[in-house]
Amino acid sequence: MDRASEMNLRDIAISAVGGALYALVGYVSWLGLTFYGVRFWPSVVIPATISCLYGASVGGLSAAIGIFISDIATHGNAILSLTVGVTSNFTCFYIIGKLAGGNKYSVRRYLVASTLGLTVGHLIIGIGLLLWSQYFPLPFQESLTPLSIAAALTISFVTFAWELPFALILVPPIVHAVKRAGR
């Protein structure tokens, strides 16, 4: 069975529960810290773990659901969430699951996959906010403030740096413990 093309009821349930958990933990752990409207986000551990255990589609979908719920609860802009937040999160955790999910998992593969996935995801955020800011105000701003390319790349780098340590340090022992317990 190709996990990317076929999701069963268990996969959908895990995606929904993972998305809810991602939103809840993200909402309570962001501590009010934002960088151009992008929140401090240690909860990346949740969809990264799901991507490793259940594969690309489940991890990507759980992240997409979770960030959408969280975005609506914080800044309330569904269009921005769907175009930037959902897209970047799905892509990031899909990459992680595709490269290091399921039977392909090893710590080495995960370290490479998570670094690549987070890089791509955060570049999508930076570019998405760059384009958005040319026409609409960013979250938590009242006026139009177009970003420069340098600012967009800085957003990508800073938010990547906020998340990477959590993903690299916490996910491998969690995945190991869950696999050892028999998932």
Query: Which of these ranges, 4-8, 80-84, 141-145, has the smallest mean pLDDT?
Result: 4-8
Query: What is the distance between the alpha carbons of residues 77 and 139, in angstroms, rounded to a whole number?
Result: 8
User: What mean pLDDT do residues 114-138 have?
Assistant: 97
What does the block give as tokens for 3? Answer: 């996990």
Query: Secondary structure of the chain: what % helix, strand, coil (to 5)?
Result: 75, 0, 20
Contact (Cβ atoms closer than 8 angstroms) between residue 97 and residue 61: no
- 38 forms beta bridges with 35
pLDDT digits (tens, 9 = 90+) for 20-74: 999 999 989 888 888 877 888 899 999 999 999 999 999 999 999 999 999 999 8
What does the block give as tokens for 104? Answer: 């392909």
Angle formed by the axes of helices 107-133 and 149-181, to 10°? 150
Contacts of residue 28, Cβ cutoff 8 Å, sequence gap at least 6: none
Domains of the chain: 9-181 (1.10.1760.20)
Query: What is the distance between the alpha carbons of residues 50 and 27, in angstroms, rounded to a whole number?
Result: 18
Q: What is the pLDDT of residue 30?
A: 82
pTM (predicted TM-score): 0.93
| Residue corresponding to tokens 């990508």 | 156
